[in-house]
Amino acid sequence: MTIARLNGIRLSWTDHGGDGPPAVLVMGTGSPGRVWDVHQVPALRRAGLRVVTVDNRGIPPTDECAAGFTVGDMAADVAALIEHLDAGPAAVVGTSLGSRVVLELALARPDLVGRVAALAAHARLNPVQEAYTAGLVAASEAGVDLPVQLWSAMQATHNLSPSTLDDDRAARDWLDVIGFGGAGVRAGHRAQLRVSLELDDRRDAYRGIGVPVLVVAFADDRAIPVRLSREVADAVPGARYAEIADAGHYGYLERPAEVNRVLVDFLTG
């Protein structure tokens, strides 16, 4: 892990090495870059890529920036990192909020972006997701801490496929993993949630993206339903679309072999 002052903040990232083309991986709301380490980093390294994972602003040890920020700030952070590493044009991979970051980066700095893989891509939130996100923000602002068991069950139900939850052993393992992180929303995580609430519908803007884009949807995703990802694929000129079966919002962890296959095919093709 390396920390340097970039784009006006302390930004943390890990360069996993490799002599091939660079690929920068951007996580979703509330998650550190190391979530990619278990499945995606090894697969992309084996494919010959130089893999870099980043902790978005809001996620320590990167500055939390609890007073607030925009998706443009987050995209500028990734741009500053690519420039700092002299790694442009780079492939960029994002999931959930990270998908919005890398798509905005492709719009703002196409000179730094070779291609984009957007997992759980979306150009807007639907009413249920808006309500869920606003509720998390309100609970955090009110200092409400749910019991860990309830928090873990909520997150598992929201983010995992029924095919995963129908396996009792897998469900227990996931509840344990989620519970290890504790319950509740930290200040930086809350600021990231606000970013999602403040985003406009970007379908028209995405029609201006001029780099190759792969949209990956997860068939059982409750957080970002498939139809929202299809909207992105329909908006971006020439975008490819892939849908992963039996996968929820955490599809890159639930079905890593399938996700890695489509990523490697796109990023190295």
Q: Would you please indicate which residues are annotated as catalytic (active-site) residues?
A: 96, 221, 249
Edge-to-edge strands of the sheet including 22-26? 2-6, 9-15, 50-55, 22-26, 90-95, 113-119, 213-218, 240-244
Residue 92: both structure tokens together: 């960029």
Residue for token pair 């890695």: 260
Strands (E) in the chain, as ranges, are 2-6, 9-15, 22-26, 50-55, 90-95, 113-119, 213-218, 240-244
The Cα 181–Cα 77 span in angstroms is 25
SS3 106: helix
Q: Let me know: does 157 contact 165? Beta carbons within 8 Å.
A: yes
The Cα 62–Cα 54 span in angstroms is 9
